[in-house]
Structure formats: C-alpha cells, structure tokens
C-alpha cells in the first residue's frame, strides 16, 4: 500500500496556505459534512470544544469520508493524550501553550515513533491506514505549536527552529491576555500588532509555516495574503450561528 500523503503538510512545505474549519460541537454529522466540502483540514478541538473520547472517534470516522486532513488540538501537551489521538487516526496535532523551545521539542517527540521520538508502538483506528502505517507516519505527521503568550513571542524563533515543528498556530486572544490587553481590543493595539508581526518574521526566518486562528473565511484570506499559511477559517458553531443571525435579519426579528 502506498503511504498516505498528508496534503495539508504538503501544501505548507510548498509555501502555500492551508485552510481549515474547526469542530467544537462534538457532532460527527457536522464533521462529515465539513470534511466533504473541499476544505484542506478539519480540526477537532479537544481543548475548548465539547468532546469526549467517543465523540472524538465518531468525528474522525466522519472526517474520513471526505478529503480533509484530520487534525486535533490536544487539551494539553500530554504524552498519553497525544498518543490516544494518534492511535485514533489523526494526522496532525496542535499543541496549546508552547512557551519554550524545550516544550516544542517534547511535543515533537510525543508524535514520533522511536528512534526519532517517544511515541509508543501500537494503535487502534489508525490501523485502517494499512500495515505500512509505521513506515511513513513519522514523515507525514503534522506538528503545529501554539504561540499564545508574550513569553512564546520572545522565544518564537527558537521554538520555530525546533526540528520536527512544521509550523505555528498563533492564538491572538491568549497572547493578548498575557500582555495585559483585552482580547476584544487586541486587533488595534500596537503592542499586539508588533508581537504578531514578530511571530510571522520568526517563521519566515526559520522556514516554518506561520499559522493564525481566524474566525471567518474573509479573515483567513486576509492573513494568507500577508504570508500566513496554517489558517482556521471558521467553526461549526460559528457557521451555524452566523446563518441563524442572518436568518433573523431576513425575518425582521433582528
């Protein structure tokens, strides 16, 4: 069997933007529908989303019906949590709150089978990738770290230079909080703008993909035009409520 090519990782390596939608509702129906719409990746949010082990697996089964790369944000940088997601078949892990190069190195090791890393041999749902899964999974696994504190900004170049880190996913709200800035006002705060630009430059200097958590396709497109690559462009909840609010205006109820 030919190795599964992680098309999202391939795009990032080619210097192209990769766009994704995030899942927070824990709905496999939403996962299945969004995975089939043509988006590059689907992110299961195990940090802030409404997910348990069973709903995570159900959503991964739904995602497998489409072309989108299955990615998950782990609740925290934890060896067992990461291992379970990998064993269930995700092809990319997003690590929250990575503040140092040492933490980034540890995160990479969780995602790699020895001798490259420390991942345990054995898997569950990932067996559907074929008997040759262990031969190619290290190369195809996508590792994204979140830069979301002023400490991480200061260490951004060292973090991004860590071997095995493919890119970052900047969390603007938590970064703002770490700087004493109201997240709702961060977009116009010069301190925050400079910190964001510093992260983008660090990615350019190290040849890694710069990523950003954006709430809408328009915002993602604008970031892509500025050189950002790994971009979430909306969520299941956001799309549902956006449509509902637009409906209320049409109905004259808002």
Q: How far is CA 121 from CA 83, 86, 146, 163, in A?
A: 10, 11, 26, 21
How far is 155 from 147, CA to CA, in rounded Å? Answer: 9
User: Which residue among the candidates 48, 99, 128, 192 is catalytic per the annotation?
Assistant: 48
Q: What six digits make up the tokens of 131? A: 């008997």
CA distances from 148 to 171, 198, 240 (A): 5, 12, 27
> How far from 232 is each of 5, 59, 94, 120, 246, CA to CA, in Å?
21, 18, 12, 30, 22
Residue 48 is among the residues annotated as catalytic for this protein: yes
DSSP state of 179: T
List the catalytic residues. Answer: 48
């Amino acid at each position: 069997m030919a190795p599964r090519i992680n098309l999202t990782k391939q795009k990032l390596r080619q210097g192209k933007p990769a766009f994704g939608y995030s899942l927070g509702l824990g709905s496999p129906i939403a996962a299945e529908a969004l995975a089939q719409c043509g988006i590059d990746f689907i992110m299961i949010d195990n940090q802030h989303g409404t997910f348990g082990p069973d709903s995570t697996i159900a959503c991964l089964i739904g995602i497998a019906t489409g072309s989108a790369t299955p990615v998950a944000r782990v609740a925290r940088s934890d060896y067992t949590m990461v291992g379970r997601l990998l064993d269930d078949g995700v092809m990319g892990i997003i690590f929250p709150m990575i503040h140092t190069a040492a933490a980034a190195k540890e995160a990479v090791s969780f995602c790699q089978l020895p001798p490259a890393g420390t991942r345990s041999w054995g898997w569950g749902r990932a067996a559907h990738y074929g008997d040759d899964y262990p031969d190619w999974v290290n190369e195809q696994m996508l590792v994204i770290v979140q830069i979301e504190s002023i400490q991480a900004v200061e260490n951004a170049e060292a973090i991004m230079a860590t071997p095995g880190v493919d890119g970052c996913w900047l969390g603007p709200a938590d970064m703002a909080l770490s700087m004493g800035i109201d997240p709702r006002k961060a977009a116009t705060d010069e301190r925050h703008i400079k910190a964001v630009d510093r992260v983008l430059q660090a990615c350019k200097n190290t040849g890694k993909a710069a990523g950003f958590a954006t709430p809408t396709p328009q915002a993602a497109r604008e970031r892509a035009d500025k050189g950002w690559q790994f971009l979430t462009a909306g969520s299941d909840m956001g799309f549902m409520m956006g449509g509902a609010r637009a409906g209320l205006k049409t109905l004259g109820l808002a």
